[in-house]
């Protein structure tokens, strides 16, 4: 079997969040394994310190335009130009392209240069299309994915539901389920000093569905008026969410923290995490919360059942604030059982440890190269 020696990794938009953490973990383990990395991204000097310098070469594709959507477009175009340049220079038969973002153009260029490419799909593409802000453009992108994804040499996806949605559009069995390389270690300590806090973590946008979380919390306050809801994250919906809190007359009980780099303190202090996302891939937030023994109530978005399990997880239907509120009340009233179920879930968290999962990535790359 051939062994991968060089990886060209495309990640045009280096953003805060779990997907970036997975990229960093994957890249660093590959570099440790003496695989040469060419990373194409709009990465800053400050973010470069998160990577091992050895065996990693950075190609910065940062755009000078600051307008969000236009910035992403220019950055994606710059990444393709850089990929074009690299493919002309690198002619190693043991090299491979791995696309972590914006896959369609990289697939086209890989075929032009007769190079093999793996793409990493990090969401349930059916649900992402269904709940998109702009249905027409999302449907068009979905059709493009149906066509072009079939020209990739392999697809890594991170949850059963996400894989099932891919299998519906792929002509061959190209999709491989590999869980996120996210956890550095399993947290061993137990924490019994939790406060009257409900926690919500995620970008403030339609996908993360904080509207349902806030409406549910307003109902929950009728039973537990001394609780606080802490919302961690930033995004375009912040003004709308703050106004919703005002309309529901719960602003004094809701705290917007913005972006927080280290969430450990909040995971250890809160009583429950609520996670009503409309769609996901594999939510690192749920992995991290369970690791810190924090009970979770989640929608059945992609990845939630993989992490929490049907047996011990607490789930709600999409956009059901009354149902979420009832589950929150029940979890607090039966908190000892809630904690016990979380401990049972935690027993299987080793599936998300960094090194074993990255080794599965590398093995898949070797198989594609062969």
CATH superfamily of 197-350: Glycogen Phosphorylase B; (3.40.50.2000)
For residue 18, the model assigns a pLDDT of: 81
Q: What is the pLDDT of residues 212-226, one digit of tens each?
A: 999 999 999 999 999
- Calculate Rg over the CA atoms of the chain: 21
Helix ranges, 57-124 (H)? 68-89, 104-112
Distance CA 5, CA 30 (A): 10
Residue 49, C-beta contacts closer than 8 angstroms, at least 6 positions apart: none
Distance CA 93, CA 368 (A): 12
Distance CA 273, CA 260 (A): 16
SS3 call for 287: helix
| Predicted confidence (pLDDT) at residue 59 exceeds the cutoff of 60 | yes
Q: What is the pLDDT of residues 157-179, one digit of tens each?
A: 999 999 999 999 998 889 999 99
Q: What is the pLDDT of residues 230-274, one digit of tens each?
A: 999 999 999 999 999 999 999 999 999 999 989 999 999 999 999
Token code pair at residue 289: 């919360």
Prediction pTM value: 0.91
Confidence of residue 358 (pLDDT cuts 50, 70, 90): very high
CATH 3.40.50.2000 domain range(s) in the chain? 6-181+353-369, 197-350
| Predicted confidence (pLDDT) at residue 190 exceeds the cutoff of 90 | no
Confidence of residue 64 (pLDDT cuts 50, 70, 90): low
Fold of 6-181+353-369: Rossmann fold (3.40.50)
Backbone phi and psi for residue 135, each to the nearest 5 degrees, phi listed first? -65, -40
- Within 13 Å, how many C-alpha atoms sit on residue 41's CB side? 26
């Amino acid at each position: 079997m051939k062994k991968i020696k060089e990886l060209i990794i495309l990640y045009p938009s280096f953003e805060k969040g779990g997907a970036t953490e997975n990229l960093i973990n994957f890249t660093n383990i590959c570099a440790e394994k003496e695989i040469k990395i060419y990373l194409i991204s709009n990465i800053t000097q400050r973010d470069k310190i998160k990577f091992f310098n050895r065996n990693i070469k950075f190609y910065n594709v940062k755009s000078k335009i600051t307008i969000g959507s236009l910035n992403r477009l220019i950055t994606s175009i710059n990444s393709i130009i850089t990929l074009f340049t690299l493919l002309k220079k690198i002619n190693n038969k043991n090299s491979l392209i791995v696309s972590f973002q914006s896959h369609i153009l990289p697939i086209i260029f890989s075929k032009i240069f007769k190079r093999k490419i793996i793409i990493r799909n990090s969401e349930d593409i059916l649900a992402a299309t269904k709940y998109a802000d702009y249905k027409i453009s999302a449907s068009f992108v979905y059709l493009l994915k149906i066509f072009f994804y079939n020209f990739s040499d392999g697809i890594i996806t991170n949850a059963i539901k996400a894989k099932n949605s891919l299998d519906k559009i792929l002509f061959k069995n190209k999709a491989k389920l590999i869980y996120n390389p996210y956890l550095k270690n399993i947290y061993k300590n137990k924490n019994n000093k939790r406060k009257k806090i409900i926690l919500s973590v995620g970008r403030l946008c339609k996908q993360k569905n904080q509207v349902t979380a806030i409406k549910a919390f307003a109902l929950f306050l009728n039973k537990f008026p001394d609780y606080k809801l802490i919302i961690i994250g930033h995004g375009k919906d912040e003004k709308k969410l703050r106004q919703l809190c005002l309309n529901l007359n719960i602003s004094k009980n809701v705290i917007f923290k913005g972006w927080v780099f280290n969430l450990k303190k909040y995971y250890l202090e809160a009583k429950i995490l609520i996670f009503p996302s409309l769609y996901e891939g594999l939510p690192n937030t749920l992995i991290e919360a369970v690791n810190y023994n924090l009970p979770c109530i989640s929608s059945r978005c992609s990845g939630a059942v993989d992490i929490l399990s049907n047996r011990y997880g607490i789930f709600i239907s999409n956009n059901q604030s009354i149902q979420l509120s009832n589950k929150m009340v029940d979890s607090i009233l039966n908190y000892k059982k809630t904690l016990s179920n979380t401990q049972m879930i935690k027993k299987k968290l080793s599936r998300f440890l960094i090194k074993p999962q990255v080794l599965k990535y590398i093995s898949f790359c070797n198989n594609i190269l062969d």
